[in-house]
Structure 1
Amino acid sequence: MIKVLTAASSETKWVARHTLKGVMCKRASPELLDYSLKHLGGKLASNCMMVQARCSPSSYDVEFR
């Protein structure tokens, strides 16, 4: 998930939770993905950047950057 966010960070766009879950669905169980996404905000990426999380005002879904 961090790699997907790092790739999207070059455009400084927010990535929706369901998009990250869809990208990773073949690699992990749904329960593990839900747990990981729940605790992803505030984590440090390998390039010393912090993962930010917010609630999208338009869709009321969690987004990450």
Structure 2
Amino acid sequence: MQGEGLHGLPPIFIDADTTPNPGGYPVGGLTVVSFRNAHLVYALTWFAMATLNLAGMVIVLRRKEV
């Protein structure tokens, strides 16, 4: 049987680079992968959460002292 034993494998993608191929096909270098650069937003989010966590801890600890 064709494909026997290949169940449950993840899909894969093989991309050709820009090296010329005999006959011209496959044409490589067409896949463009770009990720959004949101590092500043992530950093600000984590610092804000840390600040809020610290403020919450201060509030809780002050209430226990009273």
Please, what TM-score do these two structures have when normalized by structure 2?
Answer: 0.20
Q: Which structure has greater strand proportion? A: 1
Q: Which structure has greater helix proportion? A: 2
Please, what TM-score do these two structures have when normalized by structure 1?
Answer: 0.20
The structure with more radius of gyration? 2
Bigger relative contact order (CA 8 A; separation at least 6): 1
